[in-house]
Structure 1
Amino acid sequence: MKRTGVIAALAALVLAMPATAAAMPEREQAAAKPKPFVNVMPLGDSLTWGYQIKNGKAVVIDGYRKDLWVRLRKVGMNVNFVGSCPRPKWDKWKCNGKGTMGDNNHEGHSGYRIDQLSANVPAWVNKYKPQIVLLMAGTNDIAQRYDLKNAPARMSKLIDKIRAARPTAHIFVATIPQYRDPANKARVKAYNDGVVKVVRSKGKLVHLVPQHIVGTERKDFSDHVHPSDCGYAKLSFVWYNTLERDLAPNKWPTGYWPWSNTGVCG
């Protein structure tokens, strides 16, 4: 997708972030107090967990989370990812593993549908107290053909549970990326259209994240649904760009542009 197309999609869619230390005079840097942590909860399924196929093998590394963490740190957000994962073994929570980043906590549960996340989210949110929630779910509802007509309504209830537990949290709700399988494209579109309507009804602390612009190219995938390194880089950028637009308008640099056909997308 061309840069202009991505920008248009993001533009279609209120914490002010401080200036980065790099932009401050040296004496001001010395006098500046340490910034408080901003608790961010990545919440969803295997696309949040970081599952992909590499060299014919299933692996779980960092997904979009490491790249996003680095981006946010660079612009001065003292981000602290929170959540009950990773867990020490593969069990009903389906989120074991270590990853390669120091701040590896999240709530990405492989195979979980919206209702399964919703059943547990009050406990997770009450325990970890996120100030920002990055919510992307629904891929497994489509994969399992689970009551698709009511999937957006389930997402609405999930959002309401987060709001009830953390009334001041900013909730960034993503549409889901495209499936590689053309047979599912209509289902993905119907679900995403429903998510857009839900988010628009939730007030100023609930934000729409257009992750459906990811998955339009073969190189975005490692299998029929899970992203490749390139796909995860695109997910990270869309999160980052939307956070910038809604929390710190025009204050953060673009950084690596995954649609440039360079780096992991080269």
Structure 2
Amino acid sequence: MFGLKLVSILSAILGLSSLATSQKTVRINALGDSITGSPGCWRAILWQKLQAAGVKNTDFVGTLSGQGCGFSYDGENDGHGGFLATGIVRDNQLPGWLSQSKPDIVMLELGTNDVWSNIAPATIIAAFDTLVNQMRAQKSTMRVLVAQITPMNPSSCSDCGQRVIAFNAAIRAWAPNKSTAASPITVVDCWTGINTTSDTIDRVHPNSSGNTKLANCWYEPLKAAIALAGCP
């Protein structure tokens, strides 16, 4: 009886080991503006959280290298400071970036500069539509995580808070219709719980507490996407 139990335990361990080794490396591209990339230390905290949870089959990719966040991490990304979603589409920049990074998952946190520039939500969403089409042209099974962008209340833009709310509502309405079984879109709530006074350095860009909250909002959706994308 003891021998049978031992065999059963060993088989379970070997099965888990086989499952772990069968998980392929998942390439992840964080695409956005300065909130993502300058220095975007929420990505470092997010990477650390994944590592601590044993999610190590990841390769963060992009045309930009990671910046210093106090510890070593896999920091490649496409967080281009000052860029607009509408500008990236206008200049046809994403296909070139994707051809270099070749991601399996794109984490899209973009639109803050468009909103700040008072571009209509429908126009930004049209740009998102094009960006997703370009992602799918690069990889037909691209998994796309789209953030409802963080709150902002800069002194130069008294209406920006309400503009963000309107834009995030547009994201929630757009995503289900654009999502497909082969290339699902998941909306990630990076708005709720972030305070522009206590969680940002300038009422726009995250401080240390804001970075922790951003890492937390991305963690579960990204972990789930990695698990699915990593299946052989």
TM-aligned CA deviation for residue 85 of structure 1:
0.1
TM-score by length of 2: 0.78
Q: Amino acid of the residue matched to residue 173 of structure 2?
A: K
> Equivalent of 2:84, from 103, 113, 119?
113
2:52 corresponds in structure 1 to: 74
Rg larger for:
2
Aligned to 1:218, the other structure's residue is in SS state coil
Q: Which residue pairs with 1:218 in the alignment? A: 197
2:144 to 145, 157, 171: 171
| Residue 201 of structure 1 pairs with residue 177 of structure 2 | yes
Shift of 1:208: 0.7
Q: Is the 8 A contact 1:45 1:112 kept in 2?
A: yes
Query: What RMSD over aligned residues (CA atoms) do the two structures have, in Å?
Result: 2.7
Distance, in Å, in 1 between the alignment partners of 2:127 and 2:16 is 48
Structure 1 residues 173, 199: closer, same or farther in 2, change over 3 A?
Answer: same
DSSP-derived class of the 1:84 partner: coil
Confirm or deny that 1:240 pairs with 2:219. yes
Q: Kindly tell me: are residues 25 and 143 of structure 1, through their superposed partners in 2, closer, same or farther at Cα, counting changes over 3 Å?
A: same
Equivalence for 1:260 = none
What is the CA–CA distance in structure 2 between the aligned matches of 1:97 and 1:132, rounded to whole Å?
21
Query: How do residues 34-45 of structure 1 correspond to structure 2 at under 5 angstroms?
Result: 35-45=23-33
Of Structure 1 and Structure 2, the greater helix share is in 2
> Mind listing any 5+ residue stretches in structure 2 that lack a counterpart?
1-11
Please list the CA deviations of residues 66-116 of structure 1 after superposition, one character each: whole Å capped at 9, or x if unmatched.
111112223333111000103xxxxxxxxx855543412000000000023
> Within 2, Cα distance between the matches of 1:32 and 1:166?
24
Q: Is the 8 A contact 1:179 1:188 kept in 2?
A: yes
Cα distance change, pair 76–169 in 1 and its aligned pair in 2 (3 A):
farther
Distance of aligned partners of 1:107 and 1:243 in 2 relative to their CA distance in 1, 3 Å threshold: same
Q: Aligned letter for 1:67?
A: I
The 2-side partners of 1:167 and 1:211 are apart by: 26
Task: Count residues in correspondence.
Answer: 207
Identical amino acids, percent of aligned pairs: 28
Look up the equivalent residue of 1:175 and give its one-letter code: Q
Amino acid corresponding to residue 33 of structure 2 in structure 1:
D
Report the equivalent of 1:46: 34
In the alignment, which residue of structure 1 is the partner of 2:160?
Answer: 184
- How far off is 1:196 after superposition? 1.0
**TM-score, normalising length: structure 1:** 0.69
Q: 1:152 to 1:25 in 2, by over 3 A?
A: same
